[in-house]
Amino acid sequence: MRPLPVSGMPSSTPDVIYCPPPDEGLDVIYHDENMVVVNKPSGLLSVPGRGAGREDCMISRAMSRFSDVLIVHRLDMATSGLLVLARGEAMQRRLSMLFQARQVSKRYVALVHGLMNQDVGEVNLPLITDWPQRPKQMVCHERGKPSLTRFKVLSRDEETGQTRVLLEPVTGRSHQLRVHMLASGHPIVGDPLYGDQAVQAAWPRLMLHACEIALPHPITAAELNLRCQVPF
């Protein structure tokens, strides 16, 4: 594999046994000569991880069909859903600029512990890397970067004590949705990093899925509104 640019440098996933899901073929949601959008499965790295045995990832699998694809943004290994890939360096620059200019909107569906009281609202808490516990992030009002997440409750299950919620990250900090939900008192179900470990271990995966993405096409500027099915 050719060297990845800075935006695609290997990810850091220390102290995690990497067991990627079987390769059952690409789930391609959209593609043309400029870009590819795939549905990444949970448990698969977006880019190669550090160390041996972590070469299998979404970008390497995509390259088996689209040899010129490059990473534009990432999803956490445990998160599934829509991932945008560029075809060639020129398109990578164009698409990266759209993300940096916040011209890309993303929506996620999550299953969280507890019954959320508010139907609609936002979590506005600054985030910073928790260096002693990397790759964890944490809320820090003194040194954290501004981070904003909007939410809308989709349903509440009183029997299980869980809420299905639509999340829209306005900013794009690492682990933003996971930390914001934890800070609001409603950690995402199945999260291997945040929340009660004994409770979370009972779930087969992190219940967080990137289900919608909207962005202007990097060449035509036509609005692309892409969706994929939530697997839980």
Active-site pick, 68, 76, 130, 196: 76
Q: Is 56 a catalytic residue?
A: no
Tell me which long-range contacts 192-195 makes (C-beta under 8 A, separation of at least 24).
192/16, 192/78, 193/135, 193/136, 194/136, 195/113
Nearest CA among 101, 143, 152, 158 for reference residue 123: 152
What are the helix and strand counts (H, E) for the chain? 4, 12
The catalytic site residues sit at 76
